[in-house]
């Protein structure tokens, strides 16, 4: 895939432990790849802001992850606004959403903070990167009701093909990562094979969910190429076509990215 850029729409490269971060970012750059780094808490929005300034091939999101919403306050929004105004490489709000897998004791707070961050993204005219686990249709219904103008990505998509089609009806992009390479990931493979390429983007979610052939090891942002290769194999097309189309899609969502 020489001379074709790949945009990794979700990489926690700043959280790598087993691989040197600088080397991982250099590897990304050497392979014509660009990464977007999300935040998770009200505190690490500042860390992501500073981290991405060090690398010309990294951009960032600011946002509070659903499991961390207890730390969210009105000040968090003003902090996010200040960061966005002072750093043009912050190009989205994320990762935000709903997670009913671990702890269901504060679902109402998750919804409240999710809605506030959607409305904030609308006000900032920025796209949103969505975490959705065991809350698919509730997440979609909130987006239908509250998202007015922000492009949206379903990060690390884990739903069915039927749910993917419902998301696409709303103009929501589907982001696939290393799970698509797993032998038993039948639902994800079906999604990868059948959704319109116009609604597909790529990610790694590293350091988690490393693709085959590195499954079980620490994931790296450059492993996004294995995601593109698997999707191409499932669709019977060349990896270059997947790389080119998903990059075009990402640039529609994030026009601030410079691929030169």
Six-digit token pair at 117? Answer: 């961050």
Q: Domain 6-253 - what CATH class?
A: alpha beta
Sequential pLDDT tens for the chain (260 residues): 666 899 999 999 999 999 999 999 999 999 999 999 999 999 999 999 999 999 999 999 999 999 999 999 999 999 999 999 999 999 999 999 999 998 899 999 999 999 999 999 999 999 999 999 999 999 999 999 999 999 999 999 999 999 999 999 999 999 999 999 999 999 999 999 999 999 999 999 999 999 999 999 999 999 999 999 999 999 999 999 999 999 999 999 999 998 75
In this structure, the chain runs to a length of: 260
pTM: 0.97
**By the 8 A CB rule, do 6 and 227 touch?**
no
Domain layout of the chain by residue ranges: 6-253
**By the 8 A CB rule, do 66 and 100 touch?**
no
């Amino acid at each position: 895939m020489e001379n074709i850029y790949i945009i990794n729409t979700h990489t926690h490269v700043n959280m790598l432990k087993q691989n040197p971060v600088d080397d991982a970012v250099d590897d990304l750059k050497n392979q014509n790849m660009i990464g977007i780094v999300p935040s998770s808490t009200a505190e690490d929005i500042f860390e992501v802001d500073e981290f991405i300034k060090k690398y010309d091939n990294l951009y960032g999101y600011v946002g509070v992850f659903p499991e961390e919403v207890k730390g969210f306050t009105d000040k968090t929004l003003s902090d996010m606004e200040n960061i966005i105004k002072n750093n043009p490489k912050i190009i989205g709000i994320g990762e935000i959403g709903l997670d009913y897998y671990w702890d269901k004791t504060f679902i109402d707070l998750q919804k409240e903070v999710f809605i506030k961050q959607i409305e904030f993204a609308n006000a900032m005219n920025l796209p949103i990167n969505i975490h959705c686990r065991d809350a698919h249709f509730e997440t979609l219904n909130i987006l239908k009701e509250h998202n007015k103008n922000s492009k949206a990505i379903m990060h690390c998509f884990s739903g069915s093909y039927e749910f993917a089609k419902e998301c696409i009806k709303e103009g929501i992009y589907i982001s696939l990562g290393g799970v698509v390479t797993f032998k038993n990931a039948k639902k994800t493979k079906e999604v990868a094979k059948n959704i319109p390429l116009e609604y597909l983007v790529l990610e790694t979610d590293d350091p988690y969910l490393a693709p085959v052939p590195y499954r079980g090891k620490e994931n790296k942002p450059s492993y996004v190429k294995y995601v593109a290769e698997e999707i191409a194999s499932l669709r019977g097309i060349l990896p270059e076509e997947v790389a080119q189309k998903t990059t075009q899609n990402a640039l529609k969502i994030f026009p601030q990215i410079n691929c030169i």
